[in-house]
Amino acid sequence: MPVVLQNCLITLFAFIWGIDTVGFQVINVLTPLVVGAITGNWTEAITISGTFTLMGLGAVSIGGSSVPNYGLAGLIGSYIAIRSGTGLNTAIAIGIPVGLLAIQLDILVKTLMNFVASHAEHLADEEKFQQMNRFLYLGPIMYGLEIAIPTGIVAFMGTDVVKAILAFFPKWFMSGLSIAGAMLPVVGIAILLHYMPIKRYFNYLAIGFLAAAYLQLPVLAISILGAAFAFKTYVDSKKQNAAAATADNSNQGDDYDE
């Protein structure tokens, strides 16, 4: 596939994905598949995108706050790394700065959305509903451009941008960035665990850690093991609820007999 066509397809996908971020939020899952289909390297696309997904675990935009866009970082990082053949370190070195800089674009878009919403309300007050609906399309378009613009810039100027960034930052900074990138998945998992009922299900966490760290089981095997434990917990809870309901009925019957 010609490079220009690849750049156009990845930019178009970024635009659609940007719209989806304020919708069903399902396209982000397809990022490694799309990058793999465009570049022809499925394995590295899934590996790099998975790494960035781990970095973003727990980093959720709550209450309209802006967080580093690790999805965008994974999209750009994996695409440039595969196209240039440089691997994960380059993906992290390129993706993370873009993901952090995307915060500014996100703030800008959310600021502009206030004016869009305000003008839409004004049109609704004047009962100009068709104009209001057309004007509201600016919202998803701006969110799409928020992702498509940095993706297009890096895609069409990929080699130059990569060289400029690598030449600008000193070697010690790039090494530190790679180390930090390796640590970020751990931080993401820690944040995720903070909001989960770990004290209640610590035994399952210990079993999963043992399976991954010491038994070296693949992710699919651990996922199946986790699904089995989840099903067992569900069945046990159903039995406990049924037993509690039976006990309540028995107590009510004894009170009635008395």
Same-domain status, 26 and 124:
yes
Q: Which pLDDT belongs to residue 66? A: 57
- In this prediction, residue 72 has a pLDDT band, given cuts at 50, 70 and 90, of confident
Q: 187 and 215 share a domain?
A: no
**Position of tokens 């895609």?**
155
* Structure confidence by residue, pLDDT tens digits, 170-195: 777 667 656 665 665 676 677 777 77
Average pLDDT, the chain: 78
Structure confidence at residue 250 as a pLDDT band (50, 70, 90): low
Q: In this structure, are 201 and 90 located in the same domain?
A: no
Q: Does 109 share its domain with 123? A: yes
Residues 111 and 52 placed together within one structural domain of the fold: yes
C-alpha 142: how far from chain center: 19
Residues 238 and 191 in one domain: no
Segment 99-122 mean pLDDT: 81
Same domain for 145 and 251, yes or no, is: no
Residue 191: closest CA among 70, 12, 41: 70
In this predicted model, what pLDDT tens digit does every residue of 116-126 receive, in sequence order?
Answer: 888 999 999 98
Residues 149 and 226 in one domain: no
Q: How far apart are CA 185 and CA 27, in angstroms?
A: 21
Q: Which of 167, 196, 225 is the last residue of a domain?
A: 196
**CA 156 to CA 123: how far, in whole Å?**
39
pLDDT at 41 over 70: yes
Work out the average pLDDT over 14-23. 85
Is a pLDDT exceeding 80 seen at residue 82?
yes
Following DSSP, what letter does each residue of the chain receive, concatenated? Answer: --HHHHHHHHHHHHHHHHHHTTTT--GGGGHHHHHHHHHS-HHHHHHHHHHHHHHTTT----TT-----HHHHHHHHHHHHHHHT--HHHHHHHHHHHHHHHHHHHHHHHHHHHHHHHHHHHHHHTT-HHHHHHHHTHHHHHHHHHHHHHHHHHHHTHHHHHHHHHHHS-HHHHHHHHHHHHHHHHHHHHHHHHTS-TTTTHHHHHHHHHHHHTS---HHHHHHHHHHHHHHHHHHHHHHHHHHHHHHHHHHHHHHH-
Band (pLDDT 50/70/90 cuts) for residue 166 is low
Name, of 61-65, 103-107, 138-142, the range with top average pLDDT: 138-142
Predicted local distance difference test score (pLDDT) of residue 158: 63
Q: What is the pLDDT of residue 161?
A: 63
Confidence of residue 15 (pLDDT cuts 50, 70, 90): very high
Percentage of residues of the chain with pLDDT beyond 70: 79
**Contact between residue 127 and residue 10 where contact means Cβ atoms under 8 Å apart:** no
Same-domain status, 192 and 217 = no
Range of the domain at 184: 3-196
Q: How many domains in the chain?
A: 2
44 and 171 in a single domain? The answer is yes
Q: Is residue 131 over pLDDT 70?
A: yes
Residue 138 and residue 224 in one domain:
no
